[in-house]
Structure 1
Amino acid sequence: MTRLRFSANLGFLWNDLPLPDAIRRAKAAGFAAVECHWPYDTDPAEVSGALAETGLPMLGINTITGGAGHFGLSACPGRIDDARAAIEQAVSYAEAIDAQAIHIMAGVAEGPEARDTFLGNLQFAAGLTDRMLLIEPLNAFDVPGYFLRRTDQAMEVIDDVAAPNLKLMFDCYHVARTEGDVVERLEKLLPVIGHIQIASVPDRSAPDHGELNYLKVFSTLLAFGWTRPIGAEYRPDGPTEGSLTWLSSATA
């Protein structure tokens, strides 16, 4: 029987621990993979060692934010050099730890020049690596002014860049907050989705309560044959271990 598998997002889960120790905790808790936000302060050899020890794949990392309140650089017209340096940094680190994907963070920006800048930087990234590149719409409640806000906008960007390794990161929490109809959008966009993330709506904690019915989301993904680990990117209400009761039922 096919079962869903899950990835621990170590930007939120066990984020009080050094990254290699957080990887080990994720393995002990029963996760099938890990992912993180910004691992750059950790020696990649230490990360690789923990991944090899546990057998967990690193699904993805983010490009840097570029400073407080920026949430990335790649759609910021005045920071193209910084954005490309951040992309090069992410590609180098991903290669060192064999991360499967890189989330190219757009940043706070708007307008046609920002869009052109984003397209150019994504094309630059696609020319550097064959690893999966991800772009993710973020909701305006959490990240006001973020360039990429909706899945239809993201799809236009993906179509225009036309790079085979550029995919959509579908965060159910962000999509629910901005657009609703998560299951309908999942069904429509599944062929171009590279990674899926989950959290409760609207409080972004464990995916076992709230407005979004994850039983329906999970059954839809099973029905459509989704096989990649789903990213648990939520903020635990207390110690991470205390927030994991959903995991055993979701993988049963």
Structure 2
Amino acid sequence: MIRLSANLGFLWSDLPLPDAIRRAKAAGFDAVECHWPYDTDPDGVKAALEETGLPMLGLNTSKGGAGEFGLSALAGREGEARAAIRDAVEYAAAIEARAVHVMAGLARGDGAAAIFAENLAYACELGAPHGITIFIEPLNARDVPGYLVGTVEEAAAIVERVGRRELKVMFDCYHQQIMGGDLLHRFRRHRGLIGHVQFAAVPSRAEPDEGEVAFDRLLPAIAAEGYDGFFGAEYRPRAATDAGLGWLKVLRGKI
């Protein structure tokens, strides 16, 4: 069975996070994930998770300041980056989230990659006692020009460089379709390093009922490669979230 997760960074984002968790349960999702929950009391989030029985799959480290997309590859920002990692791991542990996505930031080159690798190793050290997986997510260069990691291939090289079993790649079909396509082959090639899969329509990043990727075929094909995790719906709704959930029923009917 294909298990679907609602990314509450985009879905029901107008609601307090505990209420969004409840709406995701009512809509028929099997899990939830989020972006930056830090303004919400973790006790309220944990209570909503326990009430609904939904697992929280993961959350992100801080983006930093305006226009930034993370801190962990930036020279001279190591103290801020590690504070953000500590905050993320502590919050994740408090709500029993399964993973933390460490955001690299707008930096390129070997020096930035070395800084990122050191901070990822630090994140793994902090997360390991809690059973928390650490994620790298490559982001496409059209939406986030200058981001350190753009492709699954680049992310895989960093995972291998760090050499920690807690470190995995988040394979976002939207970003990777833009950054080269050939999704099933590239997933298959890096299967052992991939810890989570996300999806959204390409190129719109709206509900996955339009665009150039047939998710009713792709998601089962990925599952057939041995992936038994959740598929995270990380899309920007065209209107109110509930109004656009027809894709969920259709997809369930096909897979």
Q: State how 1:42-81 maps to structure 2 within 5 Å.
A: 42-81=40-79
1:21 to 19, 29, 45: 19
Select between 53-62 and 224-233 the one with higher mean Cα deviation: 224-233
Q: State how 1:168-179 maps to structure 2 within 5 Å.
A: 168-179=169-180
Shift of 1:243: 1.2
User: 1:167 maps to which residue?
Assistant: 168
Q: Which runs of 4+ in 1 moved over 4 A?
A: none
Secondary structure of the residue that 1:200 maps to in structure 2?
coil
Shift of 1:194: 0.5
Are positions 1:119 and 2:120 aligned together? no
Mapped contact 1:4–1:250 kept (Cα < 8 A) = no
Mapped contact 1:135–1:154 kept (Cα < 8 A) = yes
User: 1:251 maps to which residue?
Assistant: 252
Cα distance in 1 for partners of 2:5, 2:217 equals 19
Shift of 1:163: 0.4
Mapped contact 2:34–2:58 kept (Cα < 8 A) = yes
Secondary structure of the residue that 2:190 maps to in structure 1?
helix
Deviations 1:180-233 (A, max 9, x none): 111111122222110000000000001111011212212202322432211000
Q: Match of 2:165, as an amino acid?
A: P
User: 1:207 maps to which residue?
Assistant: 208
Cα distance in 2 for partners of 1:242, 1:8 equals 15
Cα distance in 2 for partners of 1:38, 1:220 equals 31
Cα distance in 1 for partners of 2:206, 2:150 equals 21
User: 1:197 maps to which residue?
Assistant: 198
Mapped contact 1:199–1:207 kept (Cα < 8 A) = yes
Shift of 1:152: 1.1
**Aligned positions, number:** 250
Deviations 1:43-86 (A, max 9, x none): 00000000000000000000000011111000111200000000
Mapped contact 2:2–2:220 kept (Cα < 8 A) = no
User: 2:182 maps to which residue?
Assistant: 181
Shift of 1:178: 1.0
User: 2:86 maps to which residue?
Assistant: 88
1:37 to 32, 35, 38: 35
Shift of 1:112: 1.7
Shift of 1:111: 1.4
Shift of 1:113: 1.4
Shift of 1:249: 2.4
Mapped contact 2:140–2:178 kept (Cα < 8 A) = yes
Mapped contact 2:159–2:168 kept (Cα < 8 A) = yes
Cα distance in 2 for partners of 1:244, 1:143 equals 27
Cα distance in 1 for partners of 2:198, 2:137 equals 10
Deviations 1:135-182 (A, max 9, x none): 011001111110111111111100010000100000000000111111
Secondary structure of the residue that 2:211 maps to in structure 1?
coil
Secondary structure of the residue that 1:77 maps to in structure 2?
coil
User: 2:233 maps to which residue?
Assistant: 232
Cα distance in 2 for partners of 1:225, 1:135 equals 20
Cα distance in 2 for partners of 1:125, 1:235 equals 29
User: 2:104 maps to which residue?
Assistant: 106
What root-mean-square deviation, in Å, do the aligned CA atoms of Structure 1 and Structure 2 show?
Answer: 0.9
Select between 123-132 and 20-29 the one with higher mean Cα deviation: 123-132
Q: Match of 1:125, as an amino acid?
A: A
What is the aligned-residue identity percentage?
A: 54
